[in-house]
Amino acid sequence: AQLHTIAKQKGKLYFGTATDNPELTDTPYTAILDDNQMFGQITAANSMKWDATEPSRGTFTFQAGDVIANLAKANGQLLRGHNCVWHNQLPSWVTAGQFSKTDLLSIVQTHCSTLVGHYKGQVSYCRSQVSWDVLNEIMNDDGTFAQDVFFDTTGTDYIATALRAARAADPNARLYMNDFNIEGPGAKSTAYQNLIRTLQSEGVPIDGIGMQSHFIVGELPPNIQQNIEAFTALGVEVAITELDVRMTLPSTPALLAQQQKDYQTVIEACNAVPKCIGVTLWDFTDKFSWVPGAFAGQGAACPWDENLQQKPAFSGIVSGF
Ligand code: XIL
């Protein structure tokens, strides 16, 4: 079974995966990654982030990101841009207290327009479908804004600045806000829905919501489909942008069976909503998953194991479509 083919048959735009530059020397890995019927879309896990693309003010370095963009082009895969503005993986020069509000808004404007402008037209296949995570993780779980350098210096003004800069740089790109813990209903989802209404009323471009979907086995939020529909009812599209389902190691047959169900549940929810346009894994193999590095004692979060063998979770994805 090839996941992109199956997703397309169900009316989705793509099924995709994140990947990262150091992994691309692994030939058995790239044999799966490069199969554009398995993955019709890729996201750079790190190499388009701010620290990688503007390490010092006004100096832009796109070499690593270009490797990912060129891979998508060579493979005939869509590219998702990730990301323009995020409080993590910032270069040290973007620091609180260093800039006035006017200065920082200008920095955000320059970063977003240069980054999005650089990748405009880089992917010839279905170019109009390129999406950008313009804003990443701008809210706390209680629905308040993250107290980061951007919010502390500009209030919420950086949000419109980033979105408008991205729109001007590539009018065909779909512009997203991307976050975790907005897959089910709750304070954070409600706050994003209110923000979308505000942006729309102010004429600020916003096209979609990315639900990262970093889940824990057996702990999916209820009513994912209903929550996707609450967003699409506002006129924006939804994408599942960073799906993985982690567990406390060691993995057991019971955990892998629950993980299979969890993957299926997520896919079913997206599949049921036409404006949920696609699903991206946050890498497809446990060999390169970010989970063990970020959550001590946890792992085995992906549909392929560390030997690049398909796990029960793979069948869960297939059944979910
Ligand atoms: C992760 C990468 O996968 C890691 O390699 C890196 O060390 C940290 O960032 N939410 C996001 C992604 O939006 O950018 C993060 O990616 C995972 C959580």
Q: Let me know: does 265 contact 222? Beta carbons within 8 Å.
A: no
Q: How far apart are CA 297 and CA 79, in angstroms?
A: 32
Calculate how far, in angstroms, residue 17's C-alpha sits from the geometric centre of ligand 1: 13
pLDDT at residue 130 in the model: 77
Calculate how far, in angstroms, residue 203's C-alpha sits from the geometric centre of ligand 1: 31
Q: How far apart are CA 267 and CA 261, in angstroms?
A: 10
Per the structure, the complete domain to which residue 292 belongs is given by: 3-320
Q: Which residues line ligand 1 (CB under 6 A)?
A: 45-46, 136, 212, 242, 290
CATH number (domain holding residue 249): 3.20.20.80
Atom of ligand 1 nearest to the CA of 178: 13
- Check residue 22 and report its DSSP letter: G
Atom of ligand 1 nearest to the CA of 180: 10
pLDDT at residue 123 in the model: 54
**Total domains, the chain:** 1
C-alpha separations of 47 from 250, 253, 280 in Å: 31, 35, 17
Calculate how far, in angstroms, residue 290's C-alpha sits from the geometric centre of ligand 1: 7
Write the single-letter amino acid at 285.
Answer: T
Q: Does the predicted interface ipTM exceed a cut of 0.90?
A: yes
Pocket test for ligand 1, best of 290, 295, 298 (most atoms within 8 A of CB): 290
The two three-digit tokens of residue 46, written as one number: 């790190």
**Block means of pLDDT (10 residues each) for the chain, length 321 residues?**
98 97 98 98 97 98 96 93 98 96 98 96 56 97 98 98 97 95 98 98 98 98 98 98 98 98 99 98 99 98 98 98 98
Q: How far apart are CA 137 and CA 179, in angstroms?
A: 5
Atom of ligand 1 nearest to the CA of 136: 13
pLDDT at residue 285 in the model: 99
Catalogue the active-site residues.
137, 242
pLDDT at residue 129 in the model: 56
